[in-house]
Amino acid sequence: MAAPRVSVFPSPQELGPALAQLVAERAAGGGDRFSLGLSGGSLVGLLARDLPAAITGPATTGPAAPARWLLAFCDERLVPLEHPESTAGAYQTQLLPRLPGPPPRVLTPATGLPPAAAAEEYAGQLRQAFPGDDVPVFDLLVLGVGPDGHTCSLFPDHPLLQEEDKIVAALTDSPKPPPERITFTLPVLNAARSVVFVATGGSKAQILKRILEGGEEQPLPAARVRPASGELLWFLDEAAAKELNIPVEKHSVL
């Protein structure tokens, strides 16, 4: 289990293209397809702004072409697609129409079901997409982190942090509205070949110090994401990284 690699950019304006380039490079990495798991929130706008440009030109029809992608969502609020809190809905309106060429295959949660049924239905989609794998192994997961240290819909002190059997779990008591959600579990996050966390803004500085410098008896959810055999990356802006006392890779304005 390798130590996380922390990259710090002057601002989100420089971080976005670097994140897009990372996705494009991993997409071009070979194999029959590229499996990508995305989180929502501010990541939607960041990727919608910078990812299409990173995969135009030769990448449109080459190994990085979106037609080869399997796209899934790392968690979802159980609201209609047109609801402003819908992660799938946000990507369908902001990112997917801007991708070049034939679209990727997208696994979309059935949000009209009760939480437990929605989780099982989405787990079924994953099992079909990753046949033969007890736990899906994504090529890349792009995750965010909340001001309380949560990632996906895995919140501090929540029982789902102990889930070891399910690949998708339901919750009806999310401390952040809306309360009904489904989420990838830690076994899925820790099976990925690559995981990149993205965090920006000074409001994240204190929680990032706790996550990345460690030493807590009960690690925060984001600190529990340590891929067993994959790489762990953190993309931060200077405001988010300002309290860190660990080695980081600083990137200047391009």
Domain boundaries, the chain: 10-145+153-244
Cα separation values, 226 from 3, 21, 35, 196, Å: 8, 22, 19, 11
How far apart CA 64 and CA 36 sit, in angstroms, is 12
At residue 1, the pLDDT reads 60
Q: For the whole model, what pTM was predicted? A: 0.96
CATH of domain 10-145+153-244: 3.40.50.1360
CA nearest neighbour of 188 among 133, 254, 121: 133
At residue 254, the pLDDT reads 55
- Give 10-residue mean pLDDT values along the chain (254 residues): 87 95 91 94 96 85 88 98 96 96 95 97 98 96 97 97 97 95 98 97 96 90 95 97 93 71
CA dihedral sign of residues 141, 143, 149, 154: negative
What is the 3-class SS of 123-166, one letter each residue?
HHHHHHHCCCCCCCCCCEEEEECCCCCCECCECCCCHHHHCCCC
